[in-house]
């Protein structure tokens, strides 16, 4: 029986990943029109953000269910995710221009890209799977960023004020879990490397 041939890089899951990467500058432009003070464009930016985030879930499900997992997808998918959330963090920091949001942006992006780079280096020793905490982090980040993309601060009503405070709480939770899971991933990577070296020795 011949072994199954590896899936082609030209598949629907990878196409969605590429679409997500291509959509990042479009989302950034919608978000930053008129320095983020255009209400209608902020709403369109939110629509774009939600649709692009949905492609992350869809392409992963398609790749696993249809055996479309490729090395290209493994590389491009986290890059697409980090590019989208990075654009959202930086764009929102430019809009709000507050030291606290800039601090959150720098801390989160250093953690996100740092762990991504670490995954590539640790890959030769073993696979470091995504944790449940990592998935919760991603969900909280998406909800919080989506809340900030919507122009709650430009809508002068009680409902938008309440939703803005809910968004603050979601972001606080996202940052906390981002830092905790970052420490956990570093610890796991050290264990994987140590065990791999022990087996080689």
Tens digits of residue pLDDT in 91-113: 999 999 999 999 999 999 999 98
Distance CA 193, CA 179 (A): 21
3-state secondary structure at position 7? coil
Distance CA 192, CA 196 (A): 6
Distance CA 119, CA 126 (A): 9
Distance CA 35, CA 14 (A): 33
Task: Tell me the average pLDDT of the chain.
Answer: 88
Q: Regarding the domain with residue range 12-200, which homologous superfamily does it belong to in the CATH classification?
A: CDP-alcohol phosphotransferase transmembrane (TM) domain (1.20.120.1760)
Mean pLDDT score, 24-47: 96
39-65 and 71-96 helices, crossing angle to 10°: 160
Tens digits of residue pLDDT in 156-191: 899 999 999 999 999 999 999 999 999 998 998 888
| Residues ≥6 apart with Cβ < 8 Å to 91 | 28, 31, 32, 36
Question: How confident is residue 129, by pLDDT bands cut at 50, 70 and 90?
Answer: low
> By the 8 A CB rule, do 115 and 82 touch?
no
| Residues ≥6 apart with Cβ < 8 Å to 140 | 170, 171, 173, 174, 177
Distance CA 78, CA 76 (A): 6
Look at residue 1 in the predicted model and tell me its pLDDT: 39
**In this model, does residue 128 exceed pLDDT 60?**
yes
Domains of the chain, by residue range, sit at: 12-200
Distance CA 59, CA 65 (A): 10
Distance CA 27, CA 91 (A): 10
Least confidently predicted of 46-55, 75-84, 158-167: 75-84
Tens digits of residue pLDDT in 131-163: 778 788 889 999 999 999 999 999 989 999 999
**In this model, does residue 3 exceed pLDDT 50?**
no
Look at residue 194 in the predicted model and tell me its pLDDT: 86
**In this model, does residue 80 exceed pLDDT 50?**
yes
Q: What percent of the chain has pLDDT over 70?
A: 95
Look at residue 201 in the predicted model and tell me its pLDDT: 65
| Residues ≥6 apart with Cβ < 8 Å to 128 | 119, 122, 185, 188, 189, 192
| Residues ≥6 apart with Cβ < 8 Å to 112 | 82, 85, 86, 178
Structure token digits, residue 171 = 């972001």
């Amino acid at each position: 029986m011949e072994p199954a041939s590896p899936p082609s890089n030209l598949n629907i899951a990878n196409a969605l990943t590429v679409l997500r990467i291509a959509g990042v500058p479009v989302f950034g432009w919608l978000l930053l029109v008129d320095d983020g003070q255009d209400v209608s464009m902020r709403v369109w930016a939110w629509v774009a953000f939600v649709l692009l985030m949905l492609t992350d879930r869809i392409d992963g499900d398609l790749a696993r269910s249809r055996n479309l997992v490729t090395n290209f997808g493994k590389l491009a998918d986290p890059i697409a995710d980090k590019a989208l959330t990075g654009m959202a963090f930086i764009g929102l920091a430019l809009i709000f221009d507050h030291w606290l949001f800039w601090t959150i942006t720098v801390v989160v992006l250093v953690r996100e890209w740092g762990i991504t780079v670490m995954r590539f280096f640790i890959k030769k020793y073993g696979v470091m799977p995504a944790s449940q905490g990592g998935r919760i982090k991603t969900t909280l980040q998406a909800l919080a960023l989506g809340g900030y993309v919507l122009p709650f601060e430009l809508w002068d009503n009680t409902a938008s004020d309440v939703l803005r405070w809910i968004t603050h709480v979601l972001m606080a939770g996202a940052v906390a879990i981002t830092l905790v899971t970052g420490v956990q991933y570093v610890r796991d990577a050290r264990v994987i490397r140590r065990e791999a070296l022990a087996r080689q020795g």
